[in-house]
Amino acid sequence: MMMLFYRTIKTKLDTLKIGQKIRSIVIFAAIAPFLVISIFFYGNIYDAILTQTIQKKQTEISRMEPMIEKKISEATIHANQVKAQSFFQSVFTYKGQELTPSLLQSREGEAFLRGTRQIEAGHTHLDHIRIYIDAPSSDGIFSLSSTKDLLLPMDRVRGSYWHGIFEGTGYKELFCPSFYLTGWEKDHLGDLAYMLPFICNVNDRICKCYLCLYYSSDILKDILTEISNEDGTVSYLITDRDSIVTSTDGTLSGIYHFSYEDIYQYMFSSNNYMKKDVLGQTVYLTFKNIQKPGWFLVNVVPDSVIKKETRKVLTRYFLLAALILSASMLFTTRVSSSLAKRISSVISTMGKIREGNLVPMEEPDIKDEIGDLISTYNYMTARQKKLTDDLKQTADELRVAEVNALQAQINPHFLYNTLDTIQWMAMTGKESQVSETVQKLSRFYKLTLGKDMTNTTLEKEIDHASIYVDLQNIRFDNAVDFIVDIPEELLPHRIPRLTLQPIVENAILHGIREKESQTGCIVVTGWEDEKDIFLLISDDGVGIEEEYLPKILSKEGMNPYTRGTNIAIYNVHHRLQLLYGPDYGLSYKSSPGEGTEVMVHLPKI
C-alpha cells in the first residue's frame, strides 16, 4: 500500500510542469519546518525563558553584591577617619578627658571640629556627620557656634528605633535603613546611616554618645536599578529585622516582601533561588547575602513578566515565520517566471551560432524540457567552443605580452632619472639624504613590481606618483607642490600600473623645470560617470605650443624645448588603447606660458 502511494505521488510530481514543481517544493520546505518548530516552541518556550531569566538575575545579583558591599564599607572607612583623630581618641573613651566648652575651643578641639567637617565635605556620598551625647541640651558644649551642627543632645533621637536597638542590645555598630531613623533625621540628614556607640565624660558624668554618619539610600537604589529594569519586577535590600533598606519600587516591594528568615532558610538549599505564591500569582526570587551588614539583596520576577516575554518571543517567531513564508512565495514566483527566461535564453543563444558566438550552457541534473534543450545545444557546440577558447586565449596572451613589453620600456626610464638624483646628492655632499632617497626608491619599486604586473588600484597608483614627486623634490629642493583631490569612492578602482607617474614626470621635467623659477604645482583631480573614470593632471609649467600638441601622443613625438622623446607618454596612451579600445587613453590641452592639462580616460574596473 505504501509503495503504491509513493509511486502515485512520484508519478504526479513527475508530470508537473517545472514552475509547478518549484512552487510545490518551496512551499513545502517553508511550511513543514514552521509547523514542527511552532509545536515545539509552544510547549517549551516558557521554561526556556524562565531558566534564562533566573540565570540572568543570578548573574546580575552576583555582580552587584561587591558593589553594594563596597558602598557599605565606605561608611566604616569614613567612621575610622573620624575616630583616627587624636582628639576623638582622647575624649570619647571611658577614661578620656572631660568634654567642656573650653576644651572644644582649644586648639585640639578646633582641629577636631575642622577635621570632621573636612571628612564630611570630602566624600561625595557622605551627607552629614553627627555625634549625639546623652547630656542635658542646656549644656554649654551644645551652645557653641562651632559645634551647633555636629554635637547634638540625645533628646533629638531618643525615640528612634536605632536608639532603642542600642539600648536593648550589645551592638557595637549598626547599619540603619530609613525605618530605624526619626522623621527629623530623614528630612534633614539622610535616610541611611551608620552608627557607632561611644562614651564620654561630661561634667564629671559618664555619658553615652553615638557617632552617626548619614547617607542617601539612592546610592544603593541606583545599583538595584541595574537589576530591575523590566516593568513588574522589583529589587530590594532587606535587613535581619525584616526592614527594607531601599527598593526600586516601594509598592511592589511591599507586595513581594518576604521575611528575612524565609530567605535565610533557602540560602543553603536552593542555589539562591525561590518560587513563591503571592496573592494567587507565582513569583520567582533570586537573592544574595550581603555579609556585612548581613542584609539580603532580593530580586522578584512575577510569573506575568515571564508570560509577557514568552508572548513577545512567540510573536516575533510568528512574524518571522510569516515573513519567511512570504519570501518563499515571492521567490517561488520569481523562479517560475525565470524558467521562461531560461528557455528564451537558450533559443537566443542557439540563434547566435551563425555568428560564431558559441557559449555552452551548464549541463542539467534533471532532464526536463529545458534540460533537453540545453543538452542538445551543448552537444552541437562543444567542439566549436573549444576551438574558439583556444583562439581567444592565444590572442589574450599576445595582448598581455605586448602590454608588459610596453611597460618594461617605462621602468628603466624612471630608474635612470632616480639613480641620477642619488648620484647628484652624493656628489654634492648630501649623504644624510641618500638613505631616505633609497628607501623611497625601494617603496617605489615595491609598488611598481607587484604580483599583478598589469593592474593596480587608483589609490596605489596615486601613492606611486607621490613617491616619485618626493624623490624629485629631494633633488630639486621641494620645487614641486603635489595636490591630490580624488573622491574616496574612486580609490578602489583598478587602473593599469604606471599610468600617472610618467605624466607627472613629464609635467615636472618638461613643464615646471623649464620655467624661469623652476618651481610649480601639479594638481590631480578625478570624477566618474556611469561607466567611465576621468583623471585630470594639471600643471602650471611652461606649456606646449599648439602645433606640437598633436605629436605628443605619437611614437615620433618630440618635446620642442628639450628635444627629448615622449616615449613614456606614448606608451601610457598606447597601453590604455590596447587594453580598453580606441575610445580610451590620454588627451592633452595646453596654453603656452600657463600650463598643461592631461585627461586620462579609463573604464571602471
- CA 109 to chain centroid: 57
For 341-404, what is the HEC assignment? HHHHHHHHHHHHHHHCCCCCCCCCCCCCHHHHHHHHHHHHHHHHHHHHHHHHHHHHHHHHHHHH
What was the pLDDT predicted at 95?
Answer: 84
pLDDT for the residue numbered 267 = 72
- pLDDT exceeds cutoff 80 at 352: no
SS3 category, 572: helix
What φ, ψ does residue 593 adopt, rounded to 5°? 85, -10
- Residue 149: per-residue pLDDT: 87
Q: What is the pLDDT of residue 398?
A: 43
Q: In the structure, what pLDDT confidence band is assigned to residue 448 with cuts at 50, 70 and 90?
A: low
pLDDT at 423 over 80: no
**pLDDT single digits (tens) 66-88:** 888 888 889 999 999 999 999 99
Name the 3-class secondary structure at 482. strand
- Mean pLDDT of all residues belonging to the chain: 81
pLDDT top residue among 271 and 242: 242
What's the pLDDT score for residue 89? 93
pLDDT at 405: 47
Q: State pLDDT tens for residues 459-498.
A: 999 999 999 899 888 878 899 999 999 999 999 999 998 8
Q: Using pLDDT thresholds of 50, 70 and 90, give the confidence band for residue 561.
A: very low
Percent of the chain at pLDDT > 90 equals: 33
Asked if omega into 66 is within 30° of 0 (cis), the reply is: no
Q: How much is the pLDDT for 161?
A: 92
pLDDT at 483: 96
**Separation between Cα atoms, residue 601 and residue 581, nearest integer Å:** 11
pLDDT number for residue 359:
66
Whole-number Å distance between alpha carbons of 569 and 542: 18
Please state the rounded mean pLDDT for residues 521-549. 93
* Residue among 197, 131, 121 nearest 164 (CA): 197
Task: Say which residue, 556 or 401, is predicted with more confidence.
Answer: 556
Structure-model confidence comparison of residues 13 and 328, the more confident one: 328
Residue-level pLDDT at 269: 64
DSSP strands (E only) in 113-264? 126-133, 151-153, 174-176, 192-202, 205-215, 234-238, 244-247
Of the listed ranges 2-11, 371-380, 433-442, 553-562, the one predicted with least confidence = 553-562
Number of C-beta neighbours around residue 223 at 10 A? 21
Query: Is residue 109 predicted with pLDDT exceeding 50?
Result: yes
- Please state the φ and ψ torsions of residue 482, each to the nearest 5 degrees: -120, 115
Domain boundaries, the chain: 69-217, 219-306, 394-603
Q: How confident is the model at residue 455 (pLDDT cuts 50, 70, 90)?
A: confident
CATH superfamily of 219-306: PAS domain (3.30.450.20)
- Minimum mean pLDDT among 79-88, 200-209, 355-364: which range? 355-364
**Residue range 339-360: mean pLDDT, rounded:** 64
Q: pLDDT-based confidence at 562, cuts 50/70/90?
A: very low
**Which pTM does this prediction carry?**
0.48
* Distance separating alpha carbons of residues 539 and 508, to the nearest angstrom: 8
Q: Is the pLDDT of residue 410 over 90?
A: no
256-260, 266-270, 511-515 — which is least confidently predicted?
A: 266-270
Lowest mean pLDDT among 170-184, 245-259, 501-515: 245-259
Which residues, in sequence order, are CB contacts of 3 under 8 Å at separation 6+? Answer: none
Q: What's the sign of the alpha-carbon dihedral 537, 540, 542, 545?
A: positive
Q: Give the pLDDT of residue 536.
A: 97
- The yes-or-no verdict on residue 516 having pLDDT over 50 is yes
Q: Residue 340: pLDDT above 60?
A: no
Q: What dihedral do alpha carbons 585, 591, 597, 598 form, nearest 10°?
A: 20
SS3 per-residue string spanning 507-528: HHHHHHCCCCCCCEEEEEEEEE
Q: Which tens digit of pLDDT belongs to each residue from 159-168?
A: 899 999 998 8
pLDDT at position 461, please?
92
The architecture that CATH gives domain 394-603 is: 2-Layer Sandwich (3.30)
